[in-house]
Amino acid sequence: MLMAIFLSFFLIFLIIILITYVLSVIGLWKMFQKAGKPGWLSLIPIYNTYILCVITGVSPWWLALCFMAGFVIAFIPILGFLASFISIYFGVLLAVSVARSFGKEDIYALGIYFLPFVFYMIIGLGDSQYLGAKPMDDIIFHNFSKKNRYCSQCGMMVDVEAKYCPKCGKEL
């Protein structure tokens, strides 16, 4: 009897996770298409966050920092509390940058941070337009967002002062 209850809760939990994943993928798919990236990239779990960093102008080095913080949390419990702030900061940084890159106010980032599967769908399926990379000021990799930007057509990193993308020729 107890095992049946446990399996029921586990199955319900698994269904909820699957539904939120599918909704997130649908929203990201449409967001990537608006930003000129192939939508199928949203299907690859860690790579989709990298692509989100690229289209919003956030340094992809944050992904490496988050993985290192995860190892610190797992193996060095005393430093784990401090390392968890790295992941929280990255989440806020990415949420604000996504909101700005798609023409939303910074307060919209709260929804992206806490309910990404809902707010990605709103951005992806709604009338939001991709405005180019508009990252939040980054306290660690601040030079990354100041000296570089991305072409909205092909996603190539270009210098801030470039007038045309060297890869596809699109006017910036």
**What is the DSSP track for 107-145?**
THHHHHHH-HHHHHHHHHHSS-------PPPPSSSHHHH
Average pLDDT, the chain: 86
Which residue ranges make up each domain of the chain?
Answer: 15-131
Q: Which two tokens stand for residue 96?
A: 């604000």
Closest CA to 41 of 51, 31, 55: 51
Residue 148's pLDDT band (boundaries 50, 70, 90)?
low
Q: Above 60 in pLDDT, residue 143?
A: no
- pLDDT the model gives residue 75: 78
CB 110 within 8 A of CB 64: no
Q: Residues 62-85: pLDDT tens digits? A: 888 888 887 777 777 777 777 788
CB 58 within 8 A of CB 65: no
What is the reported pTM? 0.76
- pLDDT the model gives residue 145: 46
Q: Above 90 in pLDDT, residue 18?
A: yes
Q: Residue 93: exposed, middle, or buried by beta-carbon count in 10 A (0-12, 13-18, 19+)?
A: buried
Q: Residues 97-120: pLDDT tens digits? A: 999 999 999 999 999 999 999 999
